[in-house]
Chain A
């Protein structure tokens, strides 16, 4: 049965279905509604969990870390500056191989201060060692949240579920929430075999000397690589339960045979799909959606890009001084195709800038220019800047 739910509300309901034993979060726009809805579920007696009011995102992440380390399924959520404040803990959670799930309601990072959407926050912590899954819509956010717990707990790697702030979190959508039985059948109770236990004391977060640090990093890296299979398996198995796939690692939409492709992440996928309908005369376009950004799905990406002659990457973040973050990585993954594949990289929708349907024809037009810049921010109105800063 479908319910008309705000994205945040749907995510909160999905989290509740996963029976977290500890929820700790600090409100920040645009994540606030998720936590509010979880609080309401607790207040209404529909969710039994230890809801911890903390005083900062650092504490929120720390409580979640401690709870999961002590053997409780834990959840937290944040955005933007909150992700920045908890970044130290995020690295610790991953390094300690603590399984938990965090929803990142993607938002730009200041300065300048912006409450609106882009993906600079999750991209800034892409090297923390977390699995990052980017959701195209709220149904996917629901399904991915449930999958995320299974992935995290099987791999002992934390999972960050990225949903575009406002675009998804504050948008009403008809959501097919799974039943509790479906979720319980898919997601077994949390068992953590390194759980802290006073009867068998262990010390976590210890000093590791140089002779072992490289080995620990190797183990982390390999664990992320091996998580590829669990991510695919979770999506496949959940599809059997729910009838819905969330796109696995990389989803190919539009014309799979097209020689021109556009690659993006998150909610821009829906915009581009609609634009394909809006502009049918543009010719065949292959729409590639990168759902899993960490671990980086080299093989799946290469398969999705097979036969392309031109590829435009649309991303909602950038690495100043380098260019696109996603684009740089995609380019590296497809490096052996260079010469036959023309790749251009565009940052779009920064700080809440709208991505209209007309983005599609403008991107294709820009892509067609052979000598154009490898990367640029689309839609920059230079007249809004002082001359010396243009």
Chain B
């Protein structure tokens, strides 16, 4: 029996006794959704997460977050075609976040300050994986294995690590000392054993690797150019794009020519075009079936080369002929004197398939004394013949398992189908994760499919327009062989860009929900809650009005049905 107090006062005497949460039919929930940048990154970087750490003023933590996916940010910050920025929701508002420029700032800062990789030396009896190829895929795989306590031996036929990064990317895009610094820091880590000048099939054999190591990851790159001809005709003095580029990168010179037509729309074509310009070739043309990108927006069938590289090439005097095919080689004897181009377009045919169609009557003639195909490369099968079955690339699953060969993984350019540095880094990471499971005798991890948040799910009223940071560019006249053309936006620029980030699908700690909840049913905590936000819902009092969800700028709060 309850005893009435004198004067009928109540304990504890507050309206907290009324649990208005029982009125609720919908409940707000923190729902982490993948930012489009995260989803788009072939390496698996969560740019939103590390941009948030920059915004918090902790660039070192941001770098550590970044290298959870990609151990080469100073490199990718320079050479990646950054699909993250194409996907960035902010691009539909004003301009995309300059994610690659921020990544570069973090990578450069880590090198300058010699930030320690947050990883422990593996134990002496840790399993060892053999990695063939010390390019981006191999380095990434070694790094991710190390993060899981597994050692690796990296074999490469070249004297230095980096693979295509060092052999085919010009120094004005990727300075060699920087490449050496970032790969060198990684190779110094205890648990990664780099063995240069080892070539598969010559110095080591695949069978030997499979016997001696806990697992094998093949990332040899594409070292052989695809065959090219026009109706079976090839000029006698044919130079292949990638070889020419490598020659220029290593020797600094190319065979004498006064004009050249490069065939292809990828980075090799564009890099080579710029290299020829630097080597003094007066007229450099790029002929591609694909379409020149317009205004940073990559339409269907656009050239696969990095947009800003195309722009810089145009500035430097390279002439692009897009949506053109070569109908005929014009030869004098066996030497090229020109090409006949025809307009081509990808169209839907009667059978429903897309097909390139040549338009009769659009033929034009281009007089050049070299035609250089840069239409892609394939795996040099030497030492790996049984795995390739005569194909130009490995057939692998999502985790890189070579079809029919358990414990044998392949990735990077050699897996075919992409050919970017970042994709190679992603391949290395996935293969490492699968290898870790394989070594433990477990099945490969489950693929995580996370909902990607679209711009319509953000509340843009809370963001102000702000210009994107622009990296400084060398004037065309100052561009040489080795001078890096793009400068850094520096830490101030990175801070500004991080502040521009919408924080798509993740808490921005803006206090909107806490401030605007009419029932004070959003509690602010001093420490991060497990779900990554400072706020908790007090479901005893939340009536489920949905105000917080509506006013959340980031789309981080969703209303779920009350069960």
A323 shortest CB reach to chain B, Å: 35
Describe B's contact surface by its main secondary structure: loop
Q: A182-190, A203-211, A275-283, A341-349: which lies at the B interface? A: A203-211
Contact A194 B6 (CB under 8 A): yes
Contact B6 A206 (CB under 8 A): no
B525 within 8 A of A: no
Complex interface: chain A residues within 8 A of B12 (CB): 201-203
A156 within 8 A of B: yes
Complex interface: chain A residues within 8 A of B14 (CB): 201, 203
Contact B8 A95 (CB under 8 A): yes
Please report the C-alpha to C-alpha distance between residue A85 and residue B9 in the assembled complex, in whole angstroms.
Answer: 25
Q: Which of B1-59 contact A (CB under 8 A)?
A: 4-14
Q: Which of A187-225 contact B (CB under 8 A)?
A: 194, 201-204, 206, 208, 212, 215-216, 219
A96 within 8 A of B: yes
Given A201-B14, A203-B14, A212–B8 Cβ distance below 8 Å? yes
Contact A194 B4 (CB under 8 A): no
Please report the C-alpha to C-alpha distance between residue A95 and residue B8 in the assembled complex, in whole angstroms.
Answer: 8
Q: How large is the interface on A (under 10, 10 to 19, 20 to 34, 35 or more residues)?
A: 10 to 19
Point out the residue from A156, A206, A208 that lies within 8 Å of B13, measured CB to CB.
Answer: A206
Please report the C-alpha to C-alpha distance between residue A215 and residue B3 in the assembled complex, in whole angstroms.
Answer: 10
Complex interface: chain B residues within 8 A of A194 (CB): 5-7, 9
Contact B10 A96 (CB under 8 A): no
B8 shortest CB reach to chain A, Å: 5
Complex interface: chain B residues within 8 A of A219 (CB): 4, 6
A316 within 8 A of B: no
Please report the C-alpha to C-alpha distance between residue A97 and residue B10 in the assembled complex, in whole angstroms.
Answer: 14
Contact A206 B4 (CB under 8 A): no
Chain A: which residue is nearest B16 at the CB level?
Answer: A201
Contact A96 B8 (CB under 8 A): yes
A105 within 8 A of B: no
Complex interface: chain A residues within 8 A of B5 (CB): 194
Complex interface: chain A residues within 8 A of B13 (CB): 201-204, 206
Please report the C-alpha to C-alpha distance between residue A194 and residue B7 in the assembled complex, in whole angstroms.
Answer: 9
Complex interface: chain B residues within 8 A of A162 (CB): none
Please report the C-alpha to C-alpha distance between residue A96 and residue B13 in the assembled complex, in whole angstroms.
Answer: 14
Contact A212 B6 (CB under 8 A): no
Please report the C-alpha to C-alpha distance between residue A194 and residue B9 in the assembled complex, in whole angstroms.
Answer: 9
Contact A95 B7 (CB under 8 A): yes
Please report the C-alpha to C-alpha distance between residue A216 and residue B9 in the assembled complex, in whole angstroms.
Answer: 11
Contact B4 A215 (CB under 8 A): yes
Complex interface: chain A residues within 8 A of B10 (CB): 202-204, 206
Q: CB-CB contacts of A363-379 with B at 8 A, as 1s and 0s?
A: 00000000000000000
B47 shortest CB reach to chain A, Å: 48
Contact B4 A96 (CB under 8 A): no
Please report the C-alpha to C-alpha distance between residue A206 and residue B15 in the assembled complex, in whole angstroms.
Answer: 11
Complex interface: chain A residues within 8 A of B9 (CB): 96, 194, 202-204, 206
Point out the residue from B4, B7, B11 that lies within 8 Å of A212, measured CB to CB.
Answer: B4
A207 shortest CB reach to chain B, Å: 9
Q: CB-CB contacts of B506-532 with A at 8 A, as 1s and 0s?
A: 000000000000000000000000000
Contact B11 A216 (CB under 8 A): no
Please report the C-alpha to C-alpha distance between residue A219 and residue B10 in the assembled complex, in whole angstroms.
Answer: 17
A98 within 8 A of B: yes
Please report the C-alpha to C-alpha distance between residue A204 and residue B10 in the assembled complex, in whole angstroms.
Answer: 6
Please report the C-alpha to C-alpha distance between residue A377 and residue B14 in the assembled complex, in whole angstroms.
Answer: 52
Complex interface: chain B residues within 8 A of A212 (CB): 4, 8
B2 shortest CB reach to chain A, Å: 8
Chain B: which residue is nearest A97 at the CB level?
Answer: B7
Q: CB-CB contacts of A144-160 with B at 8 A, as 1s and 0s?
A: 00000000000010000
Q: CB-CB contacts of B245-260 with A at 8 A, as 1s and 0s?
A: 0000000000000000
Please report the C-alpha to C-alpha distance between residue A206 and residue B9 in the assembled complex, in whole angstroms.
Answer: 6
Contact A98 B7 (CB under 8 A): yes
A158 shortest CB reach to chain B, Å: 12
Please report the C-alpha to C-alpha distance between residue A98 and residue B6 in the assembled complex, in whole angstroms.
Answer: 10
Chain A: which residue is nearest B12 at the CB level?
Answer: A201
Contact A202 B11 (CB under 8 A): yes
Please report the C-alpha to C-alpha distance between residue A97 and residue B14 in the assembled complex, in whole angstroms.
Answer: 20
Complex interface: chain B residues within 8 A of A204 (CB): 7, 9-10, 13
Complex interface: chain B residues within 8 A of A96 (CB): 7-9
Please report the C-alpha to C-alpha distance between residue A321 and residue B69 in the assembled complex, in whole angstroms.
Answer: 94
A241 shortest CB reach to chain B, Å: 29
Please report the C-alpha to C-alpha distance between residue A68 and residue B10 in the assembled complex, in whole angstroms.
Answer: 18
Complex interface: chain A residues within 8 A of B6 (CB): 97, 156, 194, 219
Please report the C-alpha to C-alpha distance between residue A216 and residue B6 in the assembled complex, in whole angstroms.
Answer: 8
B384 shortest CB reach to chain A, Å: 77
Please report the C-alpha to C-alpha distance between residue A219 and residue B4 in the assembled complex, in whole angstroms.
Answer: 10
Q: Which of B9, B11, B14 has the most CB of A within 10 A?
A: B9
Q: Which of A95, A98, A202, A219 has the most CB of B within 10 A?
A: A202
Contact A208 B8 (CB under 8 A): yes
Complex interface: chain B residues within 8 A of A97 (CB): 6-7
Please report the C-alpha to C-alpha distance between residue A370 and residue B127 in the assembled complex, in whole angstroms.
Answer: 124
Q: Which of A156, A201, A215 has the most CB of B within 10 A?
A: A201
Closest 8 interchain pairs by CB? A203-B13, A97-B7, A206-B10, A96-B7, A203-B10, A202-B13, A202-B9, A204-B9
Q: Which residues of B contact A (CB under 8 A)?
A: 4-14
Pairs A–B under 8 Å by Cβ, sample size 8 = A97-B6, A97-B7, A201-B12, A202-B12, A202-B13, A203-B10, A206-B8, A206-B13
Given A96-B8, A194-B9, list of 16 further CB < 8 A pairs?
A95-B8, A96-B9, A97-B6, A97-B7, A156-B7, A194-B5, A194-B7, A201-B14, A202-B9, A203-B10, A203-B11, A204-B7, A204-B10, A206-B10, A212-B8, A216-B8
Q: Which residues of A contact B (CB under 8 A)?
A: 95-98, 156, 194, 201-204, 206, 208, 212, 215-216, 219
